[in-house]
Amino acid sequence: MHNLEVTDESKASALFVDFLTKQQIKNKNILILLNDSVLFEKNIPLLPGTEEASLSDEFISKVPFTTQYRAILRVLQAEKQLTIYATNAALYYPLAMACKNLKNKVIAVSPAATFGLGAHKNYTKDELKHLFKDVSLAREANFLQKF
């Protein structure tokens, strides 16, 4: 990987399959969390008369990936703010496919921030268990539904 671009997709896929196989991860529910190091994020306050589409389109046009791999996710927060996340789908798609090929179910590919998880942190077992108690948020903030 270089500048958030996958330079060799087949090698990335092979590394993911190797990791999942060594960890004996099969027939599991998988939630792939993306931390802020691989995301672009923009918060747009929703005020009366605000042109949400034009503000989000302006941000999206600046995301440096080709439209083929540009993954955009819009998350409405309490009807007061729109948070837009953008990333390169080639970063997570090979992992999602490797999971699927090993008979795992990928529930979602979501920004960790959506769950209130901090940046660049090793998450505790309790924090991770909490993610699976209510997967509705993961389904709402799911890059796989948008790609």
CATH code (residue 111): 3.30.420
138 pLDDT more than 90: no
Measure Cα distances from 47 to 59, 66, 102 in Å: 18, 31, 46
The answer to whether residue 139 is domain-embedded is yes
Full domain range(s) for residue 85:
9-146
Per-residue pLDDT, averaged over 2-16, amounts to: 80
Q: Do 69 and 90 meet the contact criterion of CB atoms below 8 Å apart? A: yes
pTM over 0.85: no
| Separation between Cα atoms, residue 32 and residue 93, nearest integer Å | 10
**What pLDDT does 99 receive?**
93
pLDDT tens, residue by residue, 19-78: 999 999 989 989 898 988 889 999 888 877 777 677 788 888 888 888 888 888 888 776
The answer to whether residue 132 is domain-embedded is yes
Pull the structure tokens for residue 13. 């896929």
The answer to whether residue 4 is domain-embedded is no
The answer to whether residue 61 is domain-embedded is yes
pLDDT tens, residue by residue, 98-121: 999 899 999 899 998 887 776 656
**What pLDDT does 114 receive?**
82
Domain count, the chain: 1
The answer to whether residue 83 is domain-embedded is yes
The answer to whether residue 102 is domain-embedded is yes
